Amino acid sequence: MFSNQNKGKIALISVHGDPAVEIGKEEAGGQNVYVRCCGEALAKQGWQVDLFTRKASPDQENIVVHSPNCRTIRLNAGPEAFIGRDELFGYLPEFVESFKQFQEREGTLYPIIHTNYWLSSWVGMQLRKSQLLKLVHTYHSLGAIKYKSVSTIPLVAKTRLEVEKACLETADCIVATSPQEEEHMRTYVSEKGNIKVIPCGTNIERFGSVRREVARDKLQLSPDDRVVLYVGRFDPRKGIETAVRAVSHLSSERKAQLKLMIAGGWTPGEKDGEERDRIGQLTQALGIENNVQFVGRLDHTVLPTYYAAADVCVVPSHYEPFGLVAIEAMACGTPVIASNVGGLKFTVIPEETGLLAPPKDDRAFAEAIDRILADPQWRSQLGEQARSRVEAKFSWDGVASQLGELYGDSIQQLTTEFFKHHFAG
Ligand code: UDP
């Protein structure tokens, strides 16, 4: 249902995470889904939403219309080619210019700019220097946390940390997607600044639309097959290695029935292709290649079938500010075994909707998988409770209502400030 109300214009900026591209490959994951789904849900509620990103190929259209009142606009900033996020900073002034030109062409000024990831926050802070607007920001990932866990720190790290701090301290509102993320901002970034917790969401009609029996039939699984599912990008920090090693620790009786399905795309020769090769070699070295199936990138029309067919979904990330995959699986009635980190501690309630285990601890993951697979009745109960938790807390419509309220309040403040500025005294 679309609302007839016109609540106002919003620009969501996601310089490197294009909301209109295929999800599930390198550089295209949760952020892209967040921007696109928030945009569509907000548009349904009466906002006029434009999603801005960088044009990364001459084949890409400049404007993609997703639904009434929601479109992606691709702006020029640097060459029309893929540029990794760590190399994008130098092109941001051009992005700011392109954004301003777009506003001029359309004869509009966006009163609310909601930026995503630190690169876009820099764009937002620049725009605020020359026009009246309220700046809302979602980090998606914090440099201060990320750089603790990677072996090579990119050149841009110092700039990123400075920009993240400046943004937290000066933006009108920071949206933390979990209380854990808020705590991390306070501990590692700054005590100053205004934070509001509004979680990520999922499409609860889509995720949860396929019954388990139907899904298992579709995937041609026998009643005895036990499926552990991983969904996500091939990135070492996603911890696929932990899932693979966990499977190798299971008893031979358990392994005789077990499939570890790994969903996610990769490009040979790119970083995600290297991780895919590494994981493939690991399964061979551990002698479990027959238990592991690489099912490739799956889109959101088929993912509900995989989630519903699975006995358990694993999210073994080393760190996760939120982790959409966990709530997608839960929405499909599948319990989740996740790392005991970040937003996963918020979404997964241990012993109620799944289990938590320390990151990189493959023995603990193995034990958790074994516990759930050993008790199908408990598994179903965890799955039902998982679905209820997502319905209550994590629908996109619910998330969009909370964001809408924040934008509404911000517009009101902006109007008050405008009148004070122009008519005071
Ligand atoms: N995804 C997908 N197809 C795949 C693999 C992943 O559509 O083959 C989607 C997944 O459904 C989820 C997103 O990519 O919506 C990943 O988001 P998450 O927050 O879990 O991780 P991120 O990519 O942000 O690290």
101 has pLDDT over 70: yes
Residues 236 and 189 in one domain: no
Q: Looking at ligand 1, which residue's alpha carbon is closest to its atom 24?
A: 30
SS3 4: coil
Is residue 24 predicted with pLDDT exceeding 70? no
Question: What is the domain count for the chain?
Answer: 2
Instruction: Identify whether 265 is part of a domain.
Output: yes
Reduce the DSSP state of residue 160 to 3 states and report it. Answer: helix
In a domain, 206, yes or no: no
Give yes or no for a contact between 31 and 55, defined as CB atoms under 8 angstroms apart: no
| Any atom of ligand 1 within 6 Å of the Cβ of 227 | no
Residue 413, pLDDT above cutoff 60: yes
- Residue 413 is assigned to a structural domain of this protein: yes
Ligand 1 proximity of 232 Cβ (cutoff 6 Å): yes
Same-domain pairing of 103 and 183:
yes
Name the residue at shortest CA distance from atom 3 of ligand 1: 24
The residue nearest atom 10 of ligand 1, judged by CA position, is 325
Res. 97: pLDDT tops 60: yes
Residues 371 and 418 in one domain: no
Which residue segment(s) compose the domain that 400 sits in? 8-201+395-423
Could you give the CA distance from residue 308 to residue 100 in angstroms, rounded to a whole number?
45
Cα of 178 to ligand 1 centre, how many Å? 17
Percent of the chain predicted with pLDDT > 70: 97
Regarding whether 331 and 409 lie in a shared domain, the answer is: no
| For residues 9-20, average pLDDT | 96
Residues 149 and 25 reside in one and the same domain: yes
Query: Is residue 410 assigned to a domain?
Result: yes
C-alpha 119 – ligand 1 centre gap (Å): 20
Give yes or no for residue 323 CB within 6 A of ligand 1: yes
The answer to whether position 292 is within a domain reads: yes
Helices (H), 286-361: 303-309, 324-331, 344-347
Residues 154 and 227 both lie in one domain: no
Would the pLDDT of 151 be above 80?
Answer: no
Q: Looking at residue 365, which CATH number applies to its domain? A: 3.40.50.2000
- Domain assignment present for 258: yes
Beta strands 70-75 and 63-67, pairing class: antiparallel
Residue 373 lies in a domain: yes
Please report how many Cα atoms fall inside a 13 Å half-sphere around the Cα of residue 322, on the Cβ side. 24
What whole-number distance in Å separates Cα of residue 248 and Cα of residue 263? 19
User: How many angstroms separate the alpha carbon of residue 23 from the centre of ligand 1?
Assistant: 7
205-238 pLDDT, tens digit per residue, is 999 999 999 999 999 999 999 999 999 999 999 9
- Give all strands (DSSP E) within 181-321, no chain letters: 195-197, 226-231, 258-263, 292-296, 312-315
Lowest mean pLDDT, pick from 42-46, 74-78, 108-112, 152-156:
152-156
Average pLDDT score over the chain: 95
Residue 25, pLDDT score: 62
What is the separation of C-alpha 405 from the centre of its chain, rounded to a whole number of angstroms? 22
131 shares a domain with 77: yes
Q: DSSP states of 99-131 as a string?
A: HHHHHHHHT---SEEEEEHHHHHHHHHHHHHHS
Assess whether 269 and 279 both reside in one domain.
yes
Plot region of 342 (φ>0 → left; ψ -120 to 50 → alpha; else → beta): left
Distance between Cα 31 and ligand 1 center (Å) = 9
Reported as type and span, the H/E element at residue 283 is: helix 271-285
Closest approach atom of ligand 1 to CA 28: 23
Instruction: Give the whole-angstrom CA distance, residue 420 versus residue 104.
Output: 26
Provide the pLDDT for residue 149.
73
Taking 70 as the threshold, does the pLDDT of residue 353 lie above it? yes
Burial class from Cβ neighbours inside 10 Å (0-12, 13-18, 19+) for residue 105 reads exposed
Residues 332, 373: one domain?
Answer: yes
My answer on whether 354 and 405 are in the same domain is no
Residue 418 one-letter amino acid: F
Angle at 284 between CA 228 and CA 218, to 5 degrees: 35
pLDDT at 26 over 60: no
Nearest CA to ligand 1 atom 21: 30
Q: Is residue 191 domain-shared with residue 237, that is, in the same domain?
A: no
- State the average pLDDT over residues 25-42: 87
Distance 232 CA to ligand 1 centre (A): 5
In a mutational test of the pocket of ligand 1, which residue from 23, 235, 300, 334 has the highest number of ligand atoms less than 8 Å from its CB?
23
| Whether residue 219 sits in one domain with residue 351 | yes
pLDDT in tens, 311-335: 999 999 999 989 999 999 999 999 9
Indicate whether 84 belongs to any domain: yes
pLDDT over 90 (residue 247): yes
Q: State the pLDDT at residue 29.
A: 79
Residue 328 in contact with ligand 1 by CB distance below 6 A: yes
Q: Whose CA is nearest to atom 2 of ligand 1?
A: 24
Q: Is 194 left (phi over 0), alpha (psi -120 to 50) or beta?
A: beta
Look at the block and give the residue holding tokens 């009108």. 172
Please tell me if the CB atom of residue 17 comes closer than 6 angstroms to any atom of ligand 1. no
ipTM above 0.95, yes or no: yes
156 CB near ligand 1 (under 6 Å): no
Nearest CA among 84, 95, 93, 21 for reference residue 54: 95
Closest CA to 41 of 404, 406, 330: 404
Mean pLDDT of 289-314: 97
Question: How do residues 360-378 score in pLDDT, each as one tens digit?
Answer: 999 999 999 999 999 999 9
Residue 120 in this model has a pLDDT that exceeds 80: yes
User: How many whole angstroms from 416 Cα to the centroid of ligand 1?
Assistant: 40
